[in-house]
Every structure is written in structure tokens, then in C-alpha cells.
């Protein structure tokens, strides 16, 4: 846990809803496009489908936590709607593009957080009527209600929904919220509901402590996401070394000693 140098105009609100585990199909309905990203058998993050072939997550998930080196090989698998040992769709990631201004360091700063975005291209698109890619929306204002769907260290087998939390501040391209996140929640979608439909407004980058309160820090979308798309189109993505037909090794597989290391949000 780190203390992040931000000025908050309000504290976490009492009406924040609790986390609800999305264990079954009825609970998870409309959230199937949120999935677990299994990263080279050594950790996981949360990712969200925003187009049939594109997954949005945090840039720092694409770095080795022990060395800080970029993952430029190995295997990343997107498990859409993963819960209790099954996913609604399984896809390998073929290309990864990290925001060009992102710098991986252990020091948490507003610069690191606001550029903490990555776009992952899947080997094959997901075209499933029950898995609908999320649209994005403009950054919310301070005081607005948002929500988050995420996996985490102690809830890696099913996502959890916090339907109501609050935007506490917007500063230097960073969204500060009262949403509850933990290790593994990196890359999780922060969303608002417009006309009954959830839209992504940010991606979880880190958790922090401000004035003794636990908060989550998210990136801005908008221009940074547009820049990521442009990088992908321009061919500046890293190709991963997955092999067709290779046996899946998932974090938490009881039959395989993966030496799992959990990526911190």
C-alpha cells in the first residue's frame, strides 16, 4: 500500500455498495465481456473486451513484476466471463501495445497512473451473443457514482461487482475513486451507467491510501485510448510467442506449479 500525493475534496461515502460475487449466469449477465487475463502462468489481471478482437487493461500488467522487464514473449490468455473453472470464451493474445508514454517504475506517481493503459489484440475475435463488448464514455466528474467489476487475489475464480462507489477527485489525468480493489484488480473497468447501459470511463491502475482512507486510482481514457488504437494500427505492437494447440496453464491450476505471482493494482 502506498500513500499517493493527491488532494481530496471529499471522503469515501457511506452509500458505497459492497462487493457482490458474480458466481452464476444470472448474476454475471451483462458482465461476460469482463474477464481474467492469465499472464504467462505467473499472475493475472482483469481485462475487458471493447471490440470483438480488442481487450483493454492496465499497462503495468504487461511487465514482469520481479524484474520490470516488458513481456515480449510467452503467453497471455483472455478468459471472458471466467467463473468457477469455466469461461464463456477462451482466446490467446497475439499482440500487445502499451501506451507510448507509459514508464514502468516501482514509484507510484500521477504520470505512471495516467498512462497506465494497454490494448491487447486477440488471435481470434469473440463473436458470441452473450459477450457484448463495452463502449467507453467521457471521464466522470467529482462526486459522480461509478462502479467496478474485478477479479482479485482472494476472488480469482469469479469476478465481483461493486455497483456503487464515488469519484473522489480528478487530478493530472488520474481518477480517484472509493471503489474497492485489491491485488489482481489491475486493468479492471471502472464504469458509469447511462440509459441503463454500462460504459467504461477508466481502468484500475493502483490502490493507494489518502488521509488514512483506501482509494483506487484509475487512468483517463479518451485521448490515451485513441493513441493506443493508433499505435496498434501503425504496427507498433509487440507480438507474443503463443503456439496454437499449446496446453493452457492457468493461475491456480492445482496440477501445475506455476510459481504464481500476483500483479498488484
The set of cell numbers assigned to 51 is 471490440
Q: Which are the contacts of 205, defined by CB distance < 8 A and separation ≥ 6?
A: 58, 60, 112, 113, 116, 174, 186, 217, 218, 219, 265
Q: How confident is the model at residue 248 (pLDDT cuts 50, 70, 90)?
A: very low
Each residue's pLDDT tens digit, 166-224: 999 998 889 999 998 887 799 999 999 988 899 999 999 998 887 778 899 999 888 88
Q: Are 175 and 217 in contact (CB under 8 A)?
A: yes
Q: What is the mean pLDDT of the chain?
A: 83
Maximum mean pLDDT: which of 86-100, 197-211, 228-242, 247-261: 86-100
Q: What is the pLDDT of residue 117?
A: 95
- How many other CB atoms are found less than 10 A from the CB of residue 133? 17
Q: Are 244 and 39 in contact (CB under 8 A)?
A: no
Each residue's pLDDT tens digit, 127-165: 999 999 999 998 899 999 999 999 988 889 999 999 999
Q: How confident is the model at residue 15 (pLDDT cuts 50, 70, 90)?
A: low
Mean pLDDT (whole number) for 226-238: 91
Instruction: Name the more confident of 69 and 162.
Output: 162
Q: How confident is the model at residue 110 (pLDDT cuts 50, 70, 90)?
A: confident
Q: How confident is the model at residue 35 (pLDDT cuts 50, 70, 90)?
A: very high
Instruction: Name the more confident of 77 and 223.
Output: 77
pTM of the model: 0.85
Instruction: Name the more confident of 195 and 264.
Output: 195
Q: What is the pLDDT of residue 90?
A: 97
Q: Which residues pair with 136 in a beta bridge?
A: 200
Mean pLDDT (whole number) for 18-47: 90
Q: What is the pLDDT of residue 242?
A: 47
Q: What is the pLDDT of residue 21?
A: 92
Q: What is the pLDDT of residue 253?
A: 42
Q: How confident is the model at residue 244 (pLDDT cuts 50, 70, 90)?
A: very low
* Fold classified for 20-239: Thrombin, subunit H (2.40.10)
Amino acid at each position: 500500500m502506498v500513500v499517493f500525493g493527491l488532494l481530496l475534496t471529499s471522503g469515501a461515502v457511506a452509500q458505497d455498495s459492497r462487493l457482490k460475487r458474480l458466481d452464476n449466469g444470472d448474476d454475471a449477465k451483462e458482465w461476460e465481456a469482463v474477464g481474467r487475463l492469465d499472464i504467462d502462468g505467473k499472475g493475472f489481471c482483469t481485462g475487458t473486451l471493447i471490440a470483438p478482437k480488442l481487450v483493454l487493461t492496465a499497462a503495468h500488467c504487461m511487465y514482469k513484476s520481479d524484474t520490470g522487464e516488458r513481456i515480449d514473449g510467452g503467453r497471455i490468455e483472455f478468459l471472458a466471463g471466467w467463473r468457477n473453472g469455466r469461461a464463456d470464451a477462451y482466446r490467446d493474445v497475439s499482440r500487445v501495445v502499451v501506451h507510448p508514454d507509459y514508464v514502468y517504475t516501482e514509484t507510484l506517481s500521477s504520470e505512471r497512473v495516467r498512462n497506465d493503459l494497454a490494448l491487447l489484440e486477440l488471435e481470434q475475435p469473440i463473436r458470441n451473443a452473450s459477450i457484448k463488448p463495452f463502449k467507453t464514455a467521457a471521464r466522470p466528474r467529482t462526486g459522480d457514482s461509478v462502479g467496478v467489476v474485478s477479479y482479485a487475489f482472494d476472488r480469482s475464480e469469479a469476478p465481483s461487482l461493486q455497483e456503487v462507489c464515488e469519484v473522489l477527485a480528478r487530478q493530472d489525468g488520474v481518477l480517484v475513486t472509493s471503489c474497492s480493489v485489491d491485488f489482481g484488480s489491475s486493468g479492471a473497468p471502472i464504469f458509469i451507467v447511462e440509459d441503463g447501459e454500462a460504459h467504461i470511463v477508466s481502468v484500475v491502475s493502483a490502490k493507494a491510501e489518502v488521509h488514512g482512507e483506501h482509494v483506487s486510482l484509475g487512468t483517463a481514457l479518451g485521448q490515451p485510448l485513441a493513441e493506443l488504437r493508433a499505435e496498434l494500427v501503425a504496427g507498433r505492437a509487440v507480438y507474443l510467442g503463443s503456439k496454437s494447440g499449446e496446453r493452457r496453464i492457468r493461475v491456480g491450476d492445482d496440477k501445475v506449479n506455476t510459481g504464481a505471482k500476483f500483479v498488484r493494482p
